[in-house]
Structure 1
Amino acid sequence: MILSGLDPSGGAGIQADIQAITALGCHPLPVLTCLTVQDTRNVYDACAVDAELIRKQLDCVAADAPIHAIKTGALGNADVVKVLVEFLGKHPNIPVVTDPVIKAAGGGDLADESLIRAMKELLFSRADMITPNGIELALLGGSDDPAEAAHSLIAAGCQSVLATGGHGEGPQITNTLYTRDVDPLYWHIERVGGEYHGTGCTLAASIAAGRAQGLSPRAAISQAQNFVNHAILNALEVGRGQPVPDRGIPWEQ
């Protein structure tokens, strides 16, 4: 199941999630959380979907179809987080991968202070993994040092933090998994060009697909990273901003 926002450029958000999850052999159950004014360059405005409507959608779909994993992206507002957390309380054994979407790559806001607080206080402890980029990790963890920020979040209740490196610099992208009792684990791939529109969504959705298929968190990350790398190598020039990873191109492990 996906809870994410609509990107009318088709590069990020729920479309990216649906494409990635489908490409990896799973069936997406998409629940739209917010509408955005967005292109491949930035986010300019956003409006949350009514939380009670989302509550009805979650209960309706869960009564009909098995849910093997949940992926969250932009959540719209704090009320949506509260509805989701109530739902998770009724379904405690479903793996949850949370992409804590706060800002677009162009700098546009996708979360206000009340939404950030609700994610930190209510949602993160329910998630198996959160997948912040460098900017989000520093904001959420209160430190510019990734390890310090990640362990601050873990101390506050997060089970694991995958610090993604797509917004960094250097010849390699390094994604780092922090957990409570194990030394950090690192995944490295070659950095291709600059930044791409929707890579964070694609990575988190791909991890959720792996978890739905019964993969361990580590195996799901490895599969997801390979998929994202393949999509980036075949990126599309959709608009005048960032290229969009091609999640529809045939892919095999």
Structure 2
Amino acid sequence: MKRYKYPSVLTIAGSDSGGGAGIQADLKTFSALGCFGTSAITAVTVQNTMGVRDIHSIPAEIVQGQIKAVMDDIQPSAIKIGMVHSTELAIAIHDTLATYPDIPVIFDPVMVATSGDKLINDDTVSVLKTVLFPLMALITPNVDEAEILTGQKISNLAEMQSAARALLQTGCSAVLLKGGHLKGRKVYDFYTSREGAEQVFESDYIESDNVHGTGCTLSSAIAAYLTLNHTLADAISKARAYVYQAILQGKDVKTGHGHGPLNHFFNPQKLTQYEVD
């Protein structure tokens, strides 16, 4: 009798009670792209489309336990990291993931919610850069996060490129700096890697209030496409196309009274199966 397995992905992130970002967005993205999603929750947030009301941290040893339980059994092929809001948690995640060096990790360094609420402690920023970034196959900061990480003002593509190259010096393998917060007719993202590859991605700007969880969704989609055996460059390109359509197909939907979610399931794929021995 033939036996099969699912392409699996792990998300290490915070829970969004409003369902638009964090763990919820990640799992929706994995499912929509035909992957089996697993999770390690770093925090429980009290939030909706209007903003974040409170954050409850999950103890570092429980986060470590979640990661190890998934890695030792289901063995996902890629990992996405989202909200890491404390120094203790950053160190704990590093110590755990360092034992799985062959698994590519995509880190979306969530620091500020779409509503403008801050999601990270000030003393954690330097720890992310020195401890976690060197383990990463790719980091995906937006403009606001890149300004916090580099101390540089970013208002155009040239400044995005400068900041991305500076972030590459932290030891990560590659950077995708997202320019969606720079309003204009076009949206530009800039990719650079330690191997010297650079690429500017361009797409039309979509006018929509429903962009909550866009960064979570993009990084999760990249991890999912890596799990589906695409190269990093192809994974980024496909993930951007997926997010573009998820925004476009959800822009006229009203969910709550604030920043609504993307339409993750505009074209859901069947759960992929691979034959195993």
Question: Which TM-score tier does this pair reach, normalised by the shorter chain?
Answer: over 0.9
Is 1:160 matched up with 2:160?
no
Which of 217, 239, 247 is the aligned partner of 2:256?
239
Query: 2-side partners of 1:103 and 1:175: how far apart?
Result: 18
Query: 1-side partners of 2:246 and 2:151: how far apart?
Result: 32
Query: 1-side partners of 2:245 and 2:160: how far apart?
Result: 26
The 8 Å contact of residues 69 and 209 in structure 1, kept in 2 or not, is answered as yes
Query: 1-side partners of 2:82 and 2:197: how far apart?
Result: 27
Query: 1-side partners of 2:241 and 2:160: how far apart?
Result: 23
1:223 counterpart residue number: 238
2:64 counterpart residue number: 55
- The number of residues matched between the two structures is 252
Runs of 4+ in 1 over 6 A off after TM superposition: none
String of CA shifts for 1:186-225, please: whole Å, max 9, x gaps. Answer: 2212111045111111000000101112211110011101
SS of the aligned residue for 2:40 comes to strand
The 8 Å contact of residues 138 and 146 in structure 1, kept in 2 or not, is answered as no
- Bigger relative contact order (CA 8 A; separation at least 6): 2
Residue identity matched to 2:241: N
The 8 Å contact of residues 70 and 94 in structure 1, kept in 2 or not, is answered as yes
Please list every run of 5 or more consecutive structure 2 residues that lacks an aligned counterpart in the other structure: 1-9, 154-158, 270-277
Query: 2-side partners of 1:146 and 1:222: how far apart?
Result: 18
Q: CA RMSD in A?
A: 1.5
Residue identity matched to 1:198: G
The 8 Å contact of residues 161 and 190 in structure 2, kept in 1 or not, is answered as no
Query: 2-side partners of 1:64 and 1:179: how far apart?
Result: 32
Residue identity matched to 1:243: G
Query: 1-side partners of 2:121 and 2:197: how far apart?
Result: 33
Quote how far apart the aligned CAs of 1:12 are: 0.7
The 8 Å contact of residues 151 and 180 in structure 1, kept in 2 or not, is answered as no
Quote how far apart the aligned CAs of 1:46 are: 1.3
Is 1:249 matched up with 2:266?
yes
The 8 Å contact of residues 83 and 110 in structure 2, kept in 1 or not, is answered as yes
Which of 187, 207, 210 is the aligned partner of 1:173?
187
Query: 1-side partners of 2:108 and 2:256: how far apart?
Result: 24
Quote how far apart the aligned CAs of 1:237 are: 1.7
Structure 1 length-normalised TM? 0.95
Residue identity matched to 1:154: L
String of CA shifts for 1:207-246, please: whole Å, max 9, x gaps. Answer: 0101112211110011101111111112132111123111
String of CA shifts for 1:76-124, please: whole Å, max 9, x gaps. Answer: 3222211211112110010000000001122111101222122111111
Identify, as 1 or 2, the structure richer in helix.
1
Q: Which has the larger radius of gyration?
A: 2
- Identical amino acids, percent of aligned pairs: 33
SS of the aligned residue for 2:20 comes to coil
The 8 Å contact of residues 237 and 244 in structure 1, kept in 2 or not, is answered as no
Query: 2-side partners of 1:29 and 1:114: how far apart?
Result: 29
**Kindly tell me: are residues 168 and 41 of structure 1, through their superposed partners in 2, closer, same or farther at Cα, counting changes over 3 Å?**
farther
Quote how far apart the aligned CAs of 1:183 are: 5.0
1:193 counterpart residue number: 207
Is 1:19 matched up with 2:28?
yes
SS of the aligned residue for 1:250 comes to coil
2:226 counterpart residue number: 211
SS of the aligned residue for 1:224 comes to helix
Quote how far apart the aligned CAs of 1:251 are: 4.6
Please list every run of 5 or more consecutive structure 1 residues that lacks an aligned counterpart in the other structure: none
Query: 2-side partners of 1:48 and 1:37: how far apart?
Result: 11
Query: 2-side partners of 1:29 and 1:244: how far apart?
Result: 21
SS of the aligned residue for 2:123 comes to helix
Query: 1-side partners of 2:198 and 2:184: how far apart?
Result: 20
After TM superposition, the structure 1 stretch with the greater mean CA deviation from structure 2, 1-10 or 241-250, is 241-250
Structure 2 length-normalised TM? 0.87
Query: 2-side partners of 1:240 and 1:37: how far apart?
Result: 16
